[in-house]
């Protein structure tokens, strides 16, 4: 065991694959610790000395309340508390806290798995944070909680918070220079800029695209005390952007998450936009993205998508599925899509209420094989801003069918567009006439109910949504119910339906 006052670096240097490095529970270890490269493929486990019976069981999210059981690796300066040596691999942390000293006012990454390596063989891999606590200090500029510039890596059952910067972006989890695969499962992820982002800086390795990414069962949020104008505002203008953003990523599954509270008139919960950020990575792409069975609450815009980088050359956004998601308290628009995009499918979503417009689709050149099927959407005061929907040259292969618009803007539903296909939209002035509850579910006897059940009805299948939120990771149910239901009647209804 590494006891208080001893040197964890000496233990890391001496450890061999298969060893366990036990750090005294509650002890504080100050330094910038490095994970060395070792020969062999067995795991080196770095963990708290607290017994397994005292820790949350695997599949249960760690809470800051458990901090007393955690050894604390504390950076005394602007460098990471823990980073990897080139090529390091097979390290697993269990029940460890990572932070910066209270005297540190500005730090890059608290945990850095990888850097901007120029050779693939130098990229670290097989790295896991399991039931860990990663956090910045309340008043400090902290750019990243966890940097994932690595091969196979995972953050599971963990808590990342107090990640924020004034005037620049910050991320609870950021990855741009590692191939993956990556897994983020059953975490609380809190950051001002983007809670999670892949891309955002050009990789140093040619043709690298972060790939095979699973983001499941997480609670991604921004505290209301960060929002200017909120009664709880704490007085620090942390720069806020989005909750989840993909700028260079492929084969991404996003399922069973709660995303909430993004401030500002343009803030979006989900942003999909290929970006050759520094004009040195024209291969940058976003493709094969599945966003299913998520709850989004409190955003100006539900999601935004842009087909190409408008500043530098990039590859095209393609093969995106947005299905069976519940969007509540959307301030302006359900979504904004700017072509060209290939194979964008928006199916069985419920977005209520929407204050400005249901959605806005435009751009050149055409959007190929666009699907907008069986969604229930608040139409706001402006209705539907849908450019050139009747022009077959602009939406070749489109399927628009069975959608419901609810709200005062429904009467001007087709703004700036020709009449869409018959059956594309049903229009209602209010929720009552549509037979829709405030939580998005259909009332008993609703005119929208279909004899064949949920698959034939517009909007969210609440049973499927509930199963995804509950089962996104083993043992998550109790934590999920507490997180989702903690501040609103509407989401208590959602969770009750999920059971």
8 Å CB contact between 24 and 4: yes
Segment 337-349 shows an average pLDDT of 93
8 Å CB contact between 214 and 178: no
- β-pair partners for 111: 82, 146
Token pair, residue 322, equals 């947005």
Quote the percentage of the chain above a pLDDT of 90.
Answer: 74
Segment 107-111 shows an average pLDDT of 98
Q: What confidence score (pLDDT) does residue 338 get? A: 86
Q: What confidence score (pLDDT) does residue 417 get? A: 45
* Model confidence band, residue 363 (pLDDT cutoffs 50, 70, 90): low
Closest of 46, 121, 132 to residue 97, by C-alpha: 132
Please enumerate in sequence order all residues whose Cβ is within 8 A of that of 300, keeping only pairs 6 or more positions apart, or say none.
262, 263, 264, 265, 266, 267, 268, 330, 331, 332, 333
Q: What confidence score (pLDDT) does residue 388 get? A: 59
Please enumerate in sequence order all residues whose Cβ is within 8 A of that of 176, keeping only pairs 6 or more positions apart, or say none.
149, 198, 199, 200, 201, 202, 203, 210, 247, 248
C-alpha distance from residue 225 to each of 220, 332, 490 (Å): 15, 21, 22
* Model confidence band, residue 392 (pLDDT cutoffs 50, 70, 90): low
* Model confidence band, residue 356 (pLDDT cutoffs 50, 70, 90): low
C-alpha distance from residue 384 to each of 77, 229, 334, 413 (Å): 51, 29, 10, 5
* Model confidence band, residue 267 (pLDDT cutoffs 50, 70, 90): confident
Given a cut of 70, whether residue 305 has pLDDT beyond it is: yes
Q: What confidence score (pLDDT) does residue 277 get? A: 95
- Lowest mean pLDDT: which of 31-45, 121-135, 483-497? 483-497
Q: What are phi and psi of 294, to 5 degrees?
A: -115, 155
pLDDT one-digit tens code per residue, 18-54: 999 999 999 999 999 999 999 999 999 999 999 999 9
Token pair, residue 248, equals 């260079």
Segment 377-382 shows an average pLDDT of 80
Token pair, residue 171, equals 């991320």
pTM above 0.85, yes or no: yes
C-alpha distance from residue 83 to each of 31, 236, 340 (Å): 11, 29, 40
Segment 432-442 shows an average pLDDT of 94
Q: What confidence score (pLDDT) does residue 424 get? A: 84
Structure-model confidence comparison of residues 46 and 364, the more confident one: 46
Range among 174-188, 394-408, 419-433 with highest mean pLDDT value: 174-188
Structure-model confidence comparison of residues 379 and 260, the more confident one: 260
Rounded to 5 degrees, what angle do the CA atoms 407, 298, 336 make? 65
Quote the percentage of the chain above a pLDDT of 70.
Answer: 87
Segment 113-126 shows an average pLDDT of 98
Token pair, residue 345, equals 């499918």
Q: What confidence score (pLDDT) does residue 357 get? A: 66
Token pair, residue 376, equals 């229930």
């Amino acid at each position: 065991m590494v006891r208080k006052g001893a040197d964890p670096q000496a233990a890391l240097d001496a450890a061999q694959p298969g060893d366990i490095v036990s750090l005294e529970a509650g002890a504080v270890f100050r330094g910038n610790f490095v994970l060395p490269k070792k020969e062999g493929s067995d795991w080196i486990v770095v963990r708290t000395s607290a017994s397994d019976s005292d820790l949350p069981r695997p599949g249960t999210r760690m809470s800051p309340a458990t901090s007393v059981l955690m050894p604390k690796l504390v950076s005394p300066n602007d460098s990471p508390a823990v980073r990897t040596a080139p090529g390091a691999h097979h390290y697993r942390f269990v029940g460890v806290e990572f932070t910066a000293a209270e005297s540190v006012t500005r730090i890059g990454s608290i945990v850095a798995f990888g850097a901007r390596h120029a050779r693939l063989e130098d990229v670290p891999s097989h790295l896991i944070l399991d039931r860990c606590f990663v956090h910045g200090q309340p008043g400090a500029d902290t750019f990243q909680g966890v940097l994932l510039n690595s091969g196979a890596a995972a953050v599971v059952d963990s808590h990342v918070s107090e990640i924020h910067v004034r005037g620049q972006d910050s991320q609870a989890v950021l990855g741009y220079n590692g191939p993956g695969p990556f897994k983020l499962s059953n975490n609380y992820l809190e950051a001002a800029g983007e809670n999670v982002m892949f891309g955002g800086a050009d990789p140093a390795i040619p043709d690298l695209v972060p790939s095979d990414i699973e983001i499941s069962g997480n609670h991604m949020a921004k505290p209301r005390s960060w929002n200017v104008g909120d009664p709880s505002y704490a007085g620090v203008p942390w720069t806020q952007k989005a909750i989840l953003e993909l700028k260079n990523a492929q084969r991404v599954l996003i399922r069973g998450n709660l995303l909430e509270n993004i401030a500002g008139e343009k803030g979006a919960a989900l942003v999909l936009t290929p970006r050759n950020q520094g004009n040195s990575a024209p291969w940058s792409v976003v493709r094969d993205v599945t966003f299913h069975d998520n709850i989004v609450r409190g955003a100006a815009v539900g999601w935004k998508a842009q087909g190409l980088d408008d500043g530098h050359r990039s590859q095209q956004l393609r093969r995106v599925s947005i299905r069976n998601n519940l969007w509540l308290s959307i301030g302006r628009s359900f979504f904004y899509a700017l072509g060209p995009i290939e194979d964008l499918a928006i199916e069985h979503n419920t977005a209520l209420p929407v204050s400005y417009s249901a959605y806005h689709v435009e751009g050149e050149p055409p959007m190929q094989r666009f699907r907008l099927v069986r969604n229930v959407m608040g139409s706001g005061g402006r209705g539907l801003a849908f450019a050139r929907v009747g022009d077959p040259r602009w939406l070749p292969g489109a399927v628009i069918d069975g959608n419901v618009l609810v709200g005062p803007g429904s009467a001007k539903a087709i703004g700036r567009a020709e009449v869409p296909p018959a059956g594309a939209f049903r229009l209602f002035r209010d929720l009552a006439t549509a037979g829709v509850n405030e939580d998005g579910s259909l009332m008993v006897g609703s005119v929208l109910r279909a004899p064949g059940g949920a698959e034939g009805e517009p909007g969210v299948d609440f049973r499927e949504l509930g199963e995804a939120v509950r089962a996104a990771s083993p043992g998550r149910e109790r934590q999920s119910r507490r997180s989702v239901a903690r501040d609103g009647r509407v989401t208590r209804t959602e969770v009750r339906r999920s059971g």
